[in-house]
A and B are shown apart, each in its own frame.
Chain A
Amino acid sequence: MKLSRKHIKDILITLSVLLGAFGLSLLFEYIFDVHEHITTVFIFGIFLISLLTEGYFYGVLAAFIGTVAVNYAFTFPYFSLNFTIPVNLISGIIMIAIAVLTSALTTKLKQQEAMKAESEKERMRANLLRAVSHDLRTPLTTIYGSGTTLLENGAEMTEEQRKKIIAGIKEDSEWLIRMVENLLSITKIDSGQVKIIKTPTVLEELIDSVILKIKKRYPSQKVDIDIPDDVVIIPMDAILIEQVIVNLLENSIQHAKGMTNLSLKVFTLGNQAIFEISDNGCGINPKMLEFIFTGYYTSSDDISDSQKKNAGIGLSVCATIIKAHGGSIKAENLKAGGVVFRFILDTESDYEA
């Protein structure tokens, strides 16, 4: 049976504190000739052990060892066990009581912290759900309304009117598709403790897939690509990272006003792969830069256009995905104008080549 890291740590703590207490007691006893505070030293040791280790086991164990040690080595009669003397018995009971109480207290504290983190996560999820459901109503209104109108009055409309209404249906359903894709990605990560399954992915294939998607949505948009010539293999959930790059490119296409140049650059540095998506558009308000990955925009923001709300969700999805991969993501305004979004992934693979 393999001991887990946590157990090994707990055992080490218990042993070293007990040894320390023992050493200190020897010091008191033989060098300073003090006999009164040996029990106190052990009680303090047991308090420390109960505080630092998981659960009740180690604290209680240490209390027993401490009681026996004190009884055996430091109290009269020396180097023999004798529990009939009330003083020895009492100090033993006190040590065990302290161990149990401290362990109970720390365990309860840890539980409370976990609960707090959980409820915080719940709250964020509820916020997201509220924001999204609200945003979903706009395109649904268009689609539902257009459908009804075409069905009831389609015959009386001019060809041009019909085309316009149908184009609206198409546009808003495309918006819905993207939104749902983002939501699916988030639920894939958020659902419980499921860890991301990383598979080795060829960078070139990933970029190929991304660019084809962008081309399909924005046929006239050119993206400059700069990736290493060598075959670079990065462990990742390719579908999720694809979504990150698509979101970032799309964000530039939709929000970087005055953009003439959009580029996607990937290079490796040591065992890290650095992805940069940059544009030369209008840049991002420095005040917003800080919150761009964390906040789903709320109604207090001066944004009324639903397209922009989508961008907020898109970027938080990016941050969630990169975080789940153990990487980092940042946005920076460029001196020459425009923005660069940069995220970093490890190229080290857990797999045998």
Chain B
Amino acid sequence: MRHNKYKILLVEDEANIRNLVATVLDNAGYQTILATSCAGAKTLYASYTPDLIILDLGLPDADGMELLSFVRKESLTPIIVLSARTNETDKITALDMGANDYITKPFGSGELLARVRAALRNNRFSSHDGRLPGGRFILRELEIDYDARQVFLNAEEVKLTQTEYNILALLSENCGKMMTYASIIKAIWGDYTPEGSIKKLQVNMANIRKKIGDKPGETNFIANELGVGYRLNA
């Protein structure tokens, strides 16, 4: 098997799932490094500096969250969390602690690879292009001119309000990353008061989606995860 340049650290204690995910990644040409515990993962992370980490939260020796915060203290290495469907709060906690995305078990191999690709691409995007003069963001037919604060769809300008623009710009700077309600609200409004501000965000988001042509069931740009947040699909 010819390997591409990406190294992926897979942290999963359940042997069958580890085997499966490793096979899928290997066949897709990624180089996989396997860890079965939090402590082992820390050592492997330090010696291999992987490009991406796939992390199961339930590990035998420590909570996966610990590894999450350990890695985040050092780097922005993309992390995808594997979670069993329990409740949304676990996912939100993981995302707010710096995970880029999560996949709910059971998942298909296609879905897994799509998330891996998106997370790796995301890492290239998030080089703060937007903050630099002349910064532009281009995603298929969608284009954002950060200097002029203008958004174009098929080269035609989309009229957005200030808040709508700010939200879209934030999502574009984090393209491919699942952004929780709390993290968007904090970045846009600065104050986090649960119910009211989520509603404000939802209404703004509904308008943005309409303006950039996203229809229910035909999500092109902005994906929503009920009760969790939004992601600009890379």
B207 proximity list for chain A (CB < 8 A): 231
- Known contacts A177-B106, A208-B217; is-contact A201 B226 (Cβ 8 Å): yes
Asked if residues A242 and B196 are in contact (CB atoms below 8 Å), the reply is no
Given contacts A206-B226, A239-B227, A351-B195, contact A227 B216 (CB under 8 A): yes
Stretch at the interface among B2-10, B33-41, B150-158, B198-206: B198-206
- Asked if B88 CB lies within 8 Å of chain A CBs, one says yes
Chain A residues with CB below 8 A from B85, complex form: 181, 184
- Residue in A200, A239, A352 whose beta carbon sits within 8 Å of that of B202 in the complex: A200
Tell me if A36 is interfacial: C-beta within 8 Å of chain B.
no
Given A199-B227, A231-B206, decide whether A215 and B217 contact each other with a Cβ distance below 8 A: yes
A352:B224 contact, CB within 8 angstroms: no
Say which size band chain B's interface belongs to.
20 to 34
A211 beta carbon closer than 8 Å to chain B: yes
What is the minimal beta-carbon distance from A215 to any residue of chain B, in angstroms? 7
Interface check A135, CB cutoff 8 A = no
Complex interface: chain A residues within 8 A of B199 (CB)? 200, 233, 351, 353
Q: Is the CB of B196 within 8 A of A204?
A: no
* Cβ contacts under 8 Å, A208 to chain B: 216-217, 219, 224
Contact with A along B173-210 (1 / 0, CB 8 A): 00000000000000000000001101100110111010
Q: Is the interface of A mostly helix, strand, loop or mixed?
A: helix
Q: How far is the CB of B115 from chain A (nearest CB, A)?
A: 14
CA–CA, A273 to B225, complex, Å? 22
A212 near B217: Cβ-Cβ < 8 Å:
yes
In chain A, positions 77-126 with a C-beta closer than 8 Å to chain B are none
Q: Is A173 an interface residue (CB 8 A)?
A: yes
A238 touching B217, Cβ below 8 Å: no
Report chain B residues within 8 Å CB of A200: 195, 198-199, 202
Residue in B106, B203, B206, B226 whose beta carbon sits within 8 Å of that of A242 in the complex:
B226
Q: Which one of B88, B196, B218 contacts A352 once the chains associate, using CB atoms below 8 Å?
A: B196
Residues of B within 8 A of A199 (CB): 198, 227
Which of B207, B219, B226 has the most chain A CB atoms inside 10 A of its CB? B226
Which of B198, B206, B226 is close to A209, meaning CB atoms less than 8 Å apart?
Answer: B226
- Count contacts on A: residues with CB < 8 A to the other chain: 30
User: Residue A205 contacts which of B88, B196, B224 (CB distance < 8 angstroms)?
Assistant: B224
Residues of B within 8 A of A351 (CB): 195-196, 199
Q: Point out the residue from A181, A202, A239 that lies within 8 Å of B206, measured CB to CB.
A: A202
Q: Does A334 contact B (CB under 8 A)?
A: no
- How close is A142's CB to chain B, nearest CB, in angstroms? 16
Could you say which of B196, B209, B227 has the most chain A C-beta atoms within 10 Å of its C-beta?
A: B227
B226 touches A205 (CB 8 A): yes
Q: Are A233 and B202 in contact (CB under 8 A)?
A: yes
Interface flag for A207 (CB, 8 Å): yes
Cross-chain contact A352 with B195 (CB below 8 angstroms): yes
Give complex CA distance A238, B209 in Å.
19
CB proximity to A under 8 Å, residues B211-231: 216-219, 224-227
Asked if B227 and A238 make an inter-chain contact with CB atoms under 8 angstroms apart, the answer reads yes
State the Cβ distance, A187 to closest chain B Cβ, in Å: 12
Contact yes or no, B202 A209, CB < 8 A = no
Q: Which residue of B lies closest to A238 (CB)?
A: B226
Q: Which residues of A contact B196 (CB under 8 A)?
A: 351-353
What is B's interface to A at a CB cutoff of 8 Å?
85, 88, 106, 195-196, 198-199, 202-203, 205-207, 209, 216-219, 224-227
20 A-B residue contacts at CB 8 Å? A181-B85, A200-B195, A200-B198, A200-B199, A204-B209, A208-B219, A208-B224, A209-B224, A211-B218, A225-B217, A227-B216, A233-B199, A233-B203, A238-B227, A239-B226, A242-B226, A351-B195, A352-B196, A353-B196, A353-B199
Give the 4 A-B CB pairs with smallest separation, nearest first. Answer: A211-B217, A238-B226, A208-B216, A207-B216
